[in-house]
Amino acid sequence: MFRDRTDAGRKLAEALQEYAALKPLILALPRGGVPIGFEVAKALHAPLDVLVVRKIGAPWNPEFGVGAIAPGIQILDQPSLNALGLTASDLKGIIEEETLELDRRVQAYRGKADFPNIVGKTVILIDDGLATGITTRAAIEAVKKLKPAQLILAVPVGPADTVKYLSHLVDKLICLEIPSPFFAVGSFYNNFPQVSDKEVMDLLKLSPSFTSPLRGRGRPKGHCH
Task: Please give the pLDDT value at position 78.
Answer: 94
Write the CB contacts of 225 (distance below 8 Å, at least 6 apart in sequence). 116, 117, 211
Write the CB contacts of 21 (distance below 8 Å, at least 6 apart in sequence). none
Domain that holds residue 135: 5-53+106-206
Task: Please give the pLDDT value at position 220.
Answer: 32
Q: Averaged over 147-174, what is the pLDDT?
A: 98
- Is the residue at 43 inside a domain? yes
What are the CA-CA distances from residue 25 to residues 28, 76, 96, 149, 152 (Å)? 10, 28, 30, 11, 10
* pLDDT tens figures, 124-145: 999 999 999 999 999 999 999 9
Strand spans (E) along 107-217: 122-126, 150-157, 172-177
- Is the residue at 141 inside a domain? yes
Domain count, the chain: 1
Short-list 99, 81, 68, 98, CA closest to 166? 68
Q: Is residue 20 helix, strand or coil?
A: helix
Angle at 30 between CA 25 and CA 196, to 5 degrees: 135
123/146 Cα distance (integer angstroms): 11
- Is the residue at 124 inside a domain? yes
Give the CATH number for residue 136: 3.40.50.2020
- The yes-or-no verdict on residue 185 having pLDDT over 60 is yes
What predicted TM-score, i.e. pTM, was given to this entire model? Answer: 0.91
- Is the residue at 90 inside a domain? no
Angle at 215 between CA 222 and CA 34, to 5 degrees: 100
Model confidence band, residue 223 (pLDDT cutoffs 50, 70, 90): very low
- Is the residue at 188 inside a domain? yes
Task: Please give the pLDDT value at position 214.
Answer: 42
Task: Assess contact for 158 and 150: CB atoms under 8 A.
Answer: no
